[in-house]
Chain A
Amino acid sequence: MNKTTSIATLFIVVMAVFPFLVDSAWLSIGITFLVFAVVAFSQDIILGRAGIFNMGHAIFFGMGAYTTAILNVHFGFEIIATIPFAIIVPVIFSILLAGPIIHLRGDYLLVATIGFNIIFEQVLKNNVFGVTGGPNGIFGIDVVRVFGYELWSDTAIYYMAFGLLLITFLIIRNLDTSKYGRALYYINKNEIAAKSMGINISYYKLFAFALGAAIAGAAGCVFAIQYSAVSPESFNFMQSVMFFAIVLVGGSASLPGIIIGTFVMFVLPELFTEFKESRYLIFGAAMVLTMILRPNGVWPATFGNIPTFLKKKAAKLKGSK
């Protein structure tokens, strides 16, 4: 067992027994951490793996949460029955929104996704079709019922979020070893080279968008369950900036990096409540400093490194010259 595997195992074991070690305040911080970690991982598929400058990821997170809330509160769906919708709706919108702009160069795409996020926020606030509840959002989301059991405790919600995180890990692992993951990796490294190898750039980028949106939507559903309420502030442009920063501060395509990023951005502020006023000031300074000291993130990914035997060969060739 190498170092990475043992760290990962340790992390999963600690997270699995976490609810039995702490009180309720910590438990809700734990849920928040898990939910935001899942969203950060889904953003990482789009931003870190496919290299698409997406600064509107809170849209898909919010769509998942609002789909659950609207279907439950206005249409009387059971929470369990809303999960498929909370995944499919963001996927459909991600394809519809990203489709026309997917060919744009980095920064233009970034501004366009900021635009989508601001439109999304305004749609929620202006209470479109009378179902989004305006600036206050939607209250009174039901508890989860499975086979007659009511899963209302924080521990149950914690394990839902934890299960979602494990599923996300599984998806990312499978993605990395599949044709799709490799295609995204090539596109990220060199788009023109990937194109000339016959990779359909737009198709794979849209795939990354749809997959990221699906996972974020599922996380949104858990978020709605946790707070039993949703409001536009949770999915505004600032949240998107946070998700964008988590991936790049932690390290693109790096699982431990993103865990660290989520911890720093969402858990530390809960611990140091006396700094709440100057919280974002410290964040901002930390973002600048991290990028200067470690431009590739705190814990850069090792995926795609040159194998050692090739390095040795290259060193030999260099020596013989």
Chain B
Amino acid sequence: MDTFLQQLINGLTIGSLYALVALGYTMVYGVMKLINFAHGDLVAFSAYVGLTIFTQFYGSNALSLVNIVIVFCLTAIVVAFVGVLLERLAYRPLRTAPRLSAVVSALGASLVIQNAIMLIWGPNMEIFPADVFPSTSWNFGGVIISFTQVIILALSAVLMIGLYTFINKTKIGTAIRATAIDQDAAKLMGINVNRIIVTIFVIGSMLGAIGGLFIGIYYRGLTFDMGWLYGLNAFIAAIIGGIGSIPGAMLGGLLLGLFNAMISGYISTEWAETFTFILLIVILILRPTGILGEKTAEKV
């Protein structure tokens, strides 16, 4: 029972990281019908940017709450800027091109970001400092929860509730939902589709940046090609929840995190990825639209 509860906590932590990243995928897919392959590498990039800013602070004074907030904000802004640049350079010129051209462009952009990371920070593993957050942890009858985990769970929950409210209650959120349903009709209703797409990239990249920072703080080891792995997992989470659906991405992320934790806790860590993909393929066969995805009839 202890193992189960411990893996439940770990799974929820990993799951909220997946969910933060998956939101970026699902929002872009919802509006542009494009798998943004570069998003995973953007997440890796943000971990590196965060690390660099952290080490800059680290030399002068100890990390205080204010500093950490500043680091998070700075990283989010830098990554959002790169995300918007990505959309401008790699995706906007291809909006009317064949679907596959956009996919290749996304793959190309992913390679560019991944190798830019390698050229800037070098091919070796970088290590995040251990004491970003206080290393306190609590023990509830054998189940250990660390301070970092609490922060990750709490902040992810706040961000997700915030995003959900933003999408459902504000005017821009309504415009985003309208654009996702029908771009042309949205244009006719006076929605500036270009601006909506930029907004999506800003929000997606910022959430991804926070996810990436947490991945860095939680796992500590950074490699330039880690973006693929987290990106793919997050994308699978988005599909499990129902791609294009924002609550779906949150649910999918949490479920995939739990699934991963249970597999590595009870079955094997060597085959973890294989099980993830088997789960994906089973879901694709049984329910291709995901758990919360709406079944839409194919237009003829």
A-to-B contact residues, CB < 8 Å = 53, 100-101, 104-108, 110-112, 114-116, 118-119, 122-123, 126, 192, 237, 241, 244-245, 248-249, 252, 277-281, 283-288, 290-292, 295-296
Contact = CB atoms under 8 A, between A and B. Distances in A.
Contact of B107 (A101, A123, A244, A296): A244
A291 B102 contact: yes
Contacts of A107: 29, 33, 35
Given A241-B107, A280-B115, A101 B232 contact: no
B239 interface: yes
Given A101-B281, A114-B232, A288 B101 contact: no
B112 A285 contact: yes
Given A106-B99, A119-B274, A280-B114, A291 B108 contact: yes
Interface string B17-44: 0000000000001000101000000000
Contacts of A101: 281, 284-285
A284 B110 contact: yes
Given A287-B107, A288-B90, A291-B108, A248 B101 contact: yes
A110 B111 contact: no
B93 interface: yes
A116 B277 contact: yes
A115 B109 contact: no
B89 A288 contact: yes
Given A245-B107, A281-B111, A296 B101 contact: yes
Contact of A118 (B89, B112, B273, B288): B273
B240 to A, nearest CB: 11
Contact of B109 (A237, A277, A284, A290): A284
Interface string B109-128: 11111111011000000000
A104 B288 contact: yes
A283 B277 contact: no
Contacts of B266: none
B271 A126 contact: yes
A106 B33 CA distance: 11
The DSSP consensus for interface residues of chain A is helix
A111 B239 contact: yes
Contacts of B270: 122, 126
A279 B119 CA distance: 11
Interface string B70-104: 00000000000000000001100110011111111
Contacts of B228: 237
A291 B300 contact: no
Nearest to A126: B270
Nearest to B115: A281
Contact of B112 (A105, A237, A281): A281
B236 interface: yes
A213 B84 CA distance: 39
A197 to B, nearest CB: 14
- The 10 closest A-B CB pairs, nearest first, are A287-B108, A284-B111, A115-B277, A284-B112, A295-B97, A281-B115, A288-B108, A295-B101, A284-B108, A291-B105
Contacts of A278: 115, 119
B116 A115 contact: no
Given A100-B285, A108-B288, A286 B239 contact: no
B104 to A, nearest CB: 5
Given A114-B232, A115-B277, A118-B273, A108 B284 contact: yes
Contacts of A118: 232, 273-274, 277
Contacts of B278: 115, 119
A295 B111 contact: no
Contact of B98 (A241, A287, A295): A295
Given A244-B107, A278-B119, 11 more contacts: A101-B284, A108-B239, A116-B281, A122-B271, A237-B228, A241-B107, A245-B107, A281-B111, A288-B112, A292-B90, A295-B94
A286 to B, nearest CB: 7
Nearest to A288: B108
A95 B116 CA distance: 39
B217 interface: no
A181 to B, nearest CB: 20
A187 B33 CA distance: 21
Contacts of A237: 228
| B118, B239, B273, B284 — most chain A CB neighbours (10 Å) | B284
B103 to A, nearest CB: 7
Contacts of A110: 35, 103
B235 interface: yes
B7 to A, nearest CB: 21
A115 B280 contact: yes
A292 B277 contact: no
Contacts of A279: 115
A285 B33 CA distance: 22
A112 B240 CA distance: 12
A123 B232 CA distance: 18
Contact of B236 (A111, A248, A286): A111
